Chain A
Amino acid sequence: MDAINAIIVDDEELARSIIREYLADHPEIQVIAECSNGFEAVKAATDLKPDLLFLDVQMPKLNGFEVLELIETDLAVIFITAYEQYAVKAFEVHAVDYLLKPFSRERFDEALALAKEKLARNEFVPRLEILSAAKPNNETVERVLVRDGSRVFVIPTERIDFIEAQDDYVSIRSEGKSHLKKQRLSDLQSMLDPKKFVRIHRSTILNVERLARLELYAKDSRMAILKDGTQLQVSRSGYDALKELL
């Protein structure tokens, strides 16, 4: 079998060293990179396209799930976590491999064997299922993550002006810049606070805080004028939704 390229992601040097040590017994696994935070992980995964990821969940700024969200390529993932959480239940339900710190060599070998089997069958980590299971109880997000090449942008939701749909992508306008994210507009809408973000149009979500005024455009349609002067079309249902909120 070909060598399997792996990347170890954990903010703790000691934790990474354990995995390195255990991997010494598995010459077919080649560690092509080690990352100490989520940003490095996204960059390494995008640039180097590994087959396998050892991914710590609890990390500063960008946690393991957010890294998973941003890496769009298919790969196998073994999650590493320090304590039981709702996510562990999700792992078990979807037969995703995870290791609870501290873990023994035997436990590690088990997880690795499973991951290798799946890779052989081209069975990759069920990203969407894991991500939706990882979000507790439909809580709204406070920030949106965008990947640009191998760079990651973290956009706090309060800094979003509006979001427009562009085919399979959405364009998020924030602080004068536009960021593309591969996501459906309705998916993103379900993650945002409906009291702050309104779907004013089939292809537009507006942060109502940015709204300066509404103007009548043509016979039946309106225009939302934002505080920075931007004009956005508002549909009938969008207007109804806005009225209800304001």
Chain B
Amino acid sequence: MHPILSNQERLAVYLIGWLVFGLLLAAVLALPHDFSWLEAVSLAVPLTLIYGLICLSSWYVCRVYPLQKTPVAQVLAVQVMAAIITIFVWGLLGSGWVLLLERVLTITGFRSRVLAKAPLMIGVGIILYGLTAAVHYLIVTFEASKESEQRELQSRIFAQEAELKALRAQINPHFLFNSLNSISALATHNPPAVRAMTLRLADFLRKSLRLGAQESIRLEEEISMSLNFLEIEQIRYGSRLQIVQKIEDVCKDCLVPPLILQPLIENAVVHGIAHLLDGGTITLEAEWRGSVLHIHIENPIDPDRPRSRKGGLGLENVTKRLRAIYKDDAQLNTDERDGAFRIDLWLPAQTNLGLHRPVPEAEPARLPE
């Protein structure tokens, strides 16, 4: 949306500004008595107004070549080219107008007098174009900073929402009551198991509170929470819940938003394993590829399972959080096919040490997939 064209008030102000330029130009032409006032005004004002309109196009150029992201040389080259084209177009329109004026006002030698002023006009044109481009760049920068401010606010809101939801999820009745029931069942015949499970549950709840409050945590900590959760569920499901994890060592220090995987792991249990008579295996994988951290979660599903309305909320929450934090730099893909549900998550790989992948100690050769 063109910031000036799209707003009537702004367009009016803009054109009035150019009108002033037009009058100034008319004065420059008329005062040295090269042109009569009538000629000067009827020449300069329409021409400058038209030029003003043509210069609006520099917005599009400025948007495509923003100052921050483009090398200076390129910006200059592009703007000079654009200026040349704009002035050329103006020149064509201008000569047409001059011819018309000559005929209508029946002036003699109008064309040649105007031609004498051509260098002046071109000079003025270049300056005005430069001014317009500068104004457009200002607008671009202003809008970019507003946008980034908004995104940051949104990201903070989403993160807090997610933290709340994640905390609520930890205090999720389904999970808690089932776990407590398992503990109660173990009480008579397996007191050591009761202690172990109570501690694990307390550990999980405490960690989720602590880590949930941080802005980002190491992947190793996130995975350990997921495994903690799954181990608690394993007591209920017994052999119906198997876990397989393949986390590349280099990934362990990668920073991720806390509890970003928790809703996905829960879904794998609640919507996947829970609906299968014989259960199945949840697979958790992470690898570092280039500058991207790739996390893969896979579990079997029953394609005929009853669809609950609440099913998509966890996924939606994760997607929203990712978008708020990483904008377009993160991606979440889900795929349901052949009785399996696959989630792929790509995040920019960042560690506390910076973006560079640490030199691996001993990396086995990996065959391409």
Listed in ascending order, the chain A residues whose CB lies under 8 Å from chain B are 11-15, 17-18, 21, 37, 39, 58, 60-61, 82-84, 100-102, 142-143, 154, 156
Could you say which residues of chain A place their CB within 8 Å of the CB of B139? none
Please measure, in the bound complex, the distance between the C-alpha atom of A12 and the C-alpha atom of B234, giving whole angstroms: 11
Q: Does B250 sit at the interface, judged by CB under 8 A?
A: no
- How many A-B residue contacts, CB cutoff 8 Å? 61
B188 lies within 8 A of A82 (CB): no
A14 lies within 8 A of B180 (CB): no
A-B pairs with beta carbons under 8 Å apart, 23 shown = A12-B238, A13-B238, A14-B182, A14-B238, A15-B185, A17-B189, A18-B181, A18-B185, A37-B277, A58-B274, A60-B275, A61-B275, A82-B174, A82-B178, A84-B173, A100-B177, A102-B177, A102-B181, A102-B184, A102-B185, A142-B306, A142-B307, A156-B304
Identify the closest chain A residue to B193 (Cβ): A14
Could you say which residues of chain A place their CB within 8 Å of the CB of B235? 14
Whole-angstrom distance between the Cβ of A6 and the nearest chain B Cβ: 18
Query: What DSSP secondary structure best describes chain B's contact surface?
Result: helix
Q: What are the interface flags for B164-176 relative to A under an 8 Å C-beta threshold, 1 for contact and 0 otherwise?
A: 0000000001100
Identify the closest chain B residue to A38 (Cβ): B277
B177 lies within 8 A of A21 (CB): no
Listed in ascending order, the chain B residues whose CB lies under 8 Å from chain A are 173-174, 177-178, 180-186, 188-189, 235-238, 240, 274-277, 302, 304-307
B304 lies within 8 A of A60 (CB): no
Identify the closest chain B residue to A58 (Cβ): B274
A14 lies within 8 A of B277 (CB): no
Please measure, in the bound complex, the distance between the C-alpha atom of A39 and the C-alpha atom of B238, giving whole angstroms: 19
Please measure, in the bound complex, the distance between the C-alpha atom of A156 and the C-alpha atom of B174, giving whole angstroms: 27
Q: Which of B177, B186, B237 contacts A101 (CB 8 A)?
A: B177
A12 lies within 8 A of B177 (CB): no
13 more CB-based (< 8 A) A-B contacts, given A13-B238, A156-B304: A12-B236, A14-B185, A14-B238, A15-B182, A18-B181, A39-B277, A60-B275, A60-B276, A60-B302, A61-B276, A61-B277, A143-B306, A154-B304
Given A14-B181, A82-B178, A21 and B188 contact (CB-CB distance below 8 Å): yes
Identify the closest chain B residue to A40 (Cβ): B277
Could you say which residues of chain B place their CB within 8 Å of the CB of A102? 177, 180-181, 183-185
B174 lies within 8 A of A83 (CB): yes
Given A12-B236, A14-B235, A142-B307, A101 and B178 contact (CB-CB distance below 8 Å): yes
Q: Nearest 8 A-B pairs (CB), nearest first?
A: A14-B185, A102-B181, A101-B181, A102-B184, A18-B185, A60-B275, A83-B173, A82-B177
